[in-house]
Structure 1
Amino acid sequence: MRVVEVTAYGGPEVLRMARRPEPEAGEAPGKVRVRLNAAGVTVADLRIRAGLYVHETGDLRPPFVLGTDFAGKLLDPAPGPEGSLPAGTRVAGFIPWLRELTGHGTYAEVVQVDPEWLAPVPDDVDFTAAASVPLAAVTARQALDRLLLTPGATLLVTGASGVVGRFAVQMAATAGLEVVAVGYEGDESELKVLGAKHCVTRGEPADVLRQLLDHVPDRVDGVFDGALVGPPMLAAVKDGGVFAALAPDRAPHPERDIRVETVLAEPDPRALTTILRQVADRELITRVADVMPLEEVAEAHRRAEAGRRPGRIVLLI
């Protein structure tokens, strides 16, 4: 089968097409096979490829196959969050790549996955949209749950124009939080439609803080750091507030009784099932920026790192 291997840590040029044996039924005890139609290109993929998580990957070294998000069809029957899933079921999910550290990701035609990573995809959600959802939406959901903010609290969402940030804005607004969204200039109207009460233009942390204080002079109760700004954004949080970091190397040291939560999403099939239904019902909005063939993965990474087009880049497999 076709796969994409990371041949060394570095830029997009280290990605190459390769062939590996297709896994057989029962080859990995407790896992089932999914034939993929689509795989999302996530920030985690970019950071792993660049070597930013080398301390977390232990003895695992290139060549390995990247990829977390996926959507496709089951090749083997599997237990599901609400009953059994027969072979042929349309499913989506994400591989907890940094936890598993097998080097087998979703830039491949067939993957072996734990059934606990899977959720069924509603008929009116296509594979490319489904592949844009799992890691981003579950990360947003679990981070907001960890923040423990109550309705009426203020939340600053950095990276609100991005995939994870857009989900965080929508979920936080639905939960009754007052959201201040940090996004690209020109995205203000859309972010307000998604639920933001105020918008500030992304830029240097000092500029973001200045704009924030124009809207919330007393600073915010919490920060959801979708842009991985890290320690400079701690200044936006009032004493005793809370900060959600989405990468270990971007988590600030606590100060002023601020609670810092580092959130690395764990698969949650029930939550993902609900989220995909919300996408089908247009209660949650996802966005696909580009759909590209697997063979153009290096260009997909370049576009993802450029970062300006909102939405997930999805690889067609």
Structure 2
Amino acid sequence: MTSTTAPTTTTFRRLVTAGDGTLSTETAALPEPGPGEVRIRVRAAGITPADLGVRDGFFHQIGLATGSVGLGWDLAGTVDALGPDVDAFAVGDEVLGVHDSFDAAVRGQGEAVVLPLRAVALAPEGVPLDAAATLSLNALTAKQSLDLLALEPGQTLLVTGARGSVGGFAVELARLRGLEVVAVGRGDALPTGVDGALDAAAVGADVLVAVRDGGAFVAVKDPAEPPAERGIRVTTVHTYAQPGELAELSRLAQEGRLTLHVAERFGLDEADAAYARVAEGGLRGRVLLVP
């Protein structure tokens, strides 16, 4: 039996797209959590470049959608319902989460969302709850990219887009691992001979020249993965929440070891303006939708 507080409504609003470049809000039945799931009343949800792709038809082009679909990958809010036999959280807990699957119509940019336990963690204490929405996808991507690089303490890592959301977390996490970090922003010259490169800015093949023979390179999206050369191990990170990962990242944010940046906040009814701001680029931090 699902445990929940008495709902004030049985419906919620969410942001959707038909994949035609437009956005709209719709009212839908409030989703119920199943086994191993919690429902979250969303305080804030981030907008990512991936959301721009979904708005412009990516899900529809690859056959994952035929009608309206939700948007949004990372979020923060308050647990208001528990699935059967869920005791890892309590109703009222402030949490952060990530919607890392491609197969759900109800996503993070709305008033409520249901997520599996592996994709939810308690929000860091002492941090505004909406700011916690900037952590999940970005920090997971950075952490899992570093895992793929598999560099040893003392080795040198080059991070492109180091002033951006993923790149900023990558720099902080890499230093915690004892790596020597070369942080590169737009227009900066590239060094050569580094042991590995995390291409958070999706520069692509031009960054590969900086990596020594036999080094490692990780792209954050498939089109930016260059062909391997000189024995360099080349791969792309595909972010997927594993049990315990978000909790560890939340702990680091609570300790002040990860820095959270909110660029701008928009209401759900201002989604067009919010998406336009993300498309402009040049942001320091995440644009948030606040339902």
Does TM, normalized by the shorter one, top 0.5?
yes
Q: Give the equivalent residue in structure 2 for 1:288.
A: 262
User: How much identity, in percent, do the aligned residues show?
Assistant: 39
Residue 43 (structure 1) shift: 2.2
Residue 53 (structure 1) shift: 6.2
1:212 and 2:190 aligned: yes
Q: Is the 8 A contact 2:211 2:217 kept in 1?
A: yes
Where in structure 2 are there 5+ consecutive unaligned residues? 1-11
Secondary structure at the aligned position of 2:44 is classed as strand
Secondary structure at the aligned position of 1:224 is classed as strand
Match of 1:5 among 1, 7, 16: 16
Q: Give the equivalent residue in structure 2 for 1:43.
A: 49
Q: Give the equivalent residue in structure 2 for 1:72.
A: 77
User: In structure 1, how many angstroms separate the alpha carbons of the residues matched to 2:65 and 2:240?
Assistant: 20
User: In structure 1, how many angstroms separate the alpha carbons of the residues matched to 2:66 and 2:212?
Assistant: 42
Q: Give the equivalent residue in structure 2 for 1:166.
A: 168
Q: Is the 8 A contact 1:78 1:86 kept in 2?
A: no
* Closer, same or farther: CA 61–156 of 1 in aligned 2, 3 Å: farther
Q: In structure 1, give the amino acid aligned to 2:37.
A: K
* Closer, same or farther: CA 247–276 of 1 in aligned 2, 3 Å: same
* Closer, same or farther: CA 264–228 of 1 in aligned 2, 3 Å: same
1:16 and 2:20 aligned: no
User: 1:148-227 residue pairs with structure 2 within 5 A?
Assistant: 148-183=150-185, 202-203=186-187, 208=188, 211-213=189-191, 218-227=192-201
* Closer, same or farther: CA 161–54 of 1 in aligned 2, 3 Å: farther
Q: Is the 8 A contact 1:33 1:112 kept in 2?
A: yes
Q: Give the equivalent residue in structure 2 for 1:86.
A: 90
User: In structure 2, how many angstroms separate the alpha carbons of the residues matched to 1:39 and 1:80?
Assistant: 27
RMSD, matched Cα: 2.1
Q: Deviation string for 1:104-124 (max 9, x for gaps)? A: 211111111111111011332
User: In structure 2, how many angstroms separate the alpha carbons of the residues matched to 1:80 and 1:125?
Assistant: 29
Q: Give the equivalent residue in structure 2 for 1:58.
A: 63
1:96 and 2:100 aligned: yes
**Higher relative helix content:** 1
State the number of aligned residues.
280
Residue 21 (structure 1) shift: 1.7
* Closer, same or farther: CA 161–4 of 1 in aligned 2, 3 Å: same
Residue 234 (structure 1) shift: 1.6
TM-score by length of 2: 0.89
User: In structure 2, how many angstroms separate the alpha carbons of the residues matched to 1:41 and 1:263?
Assistant: 19
Q: Deviation string for 1:229-276 (max 9, x for gaps)? A: 122222221111111111122211211111112111111341211211
Q: In structure 2, give the amino acid aligned to 1:45.
A: D
Q: Give the equivalent residue in structure 2 for 1:31.
A: 37
* Closer, same or farther: CA 51–160 of 1 in aligned 2, 3 Å: farther
Q: Deviation string for 1:293-315 (max 9, x for gaps)? A: 11111111111121223011111
Q: Is the 8 A contact 1:105 1:111 kept in 2?
A: yes
User: 1:261-272 residue pairs with structure 2 within 5 A?
Assistant: 261-272=235-246
Q: In structure 2, give the amino acid aligned to 1:164.
A: V
User: In structure 2, how many angstroms separate the alpha carbons of the residues matched to 1:232 and 1:115?
Assistant: 39
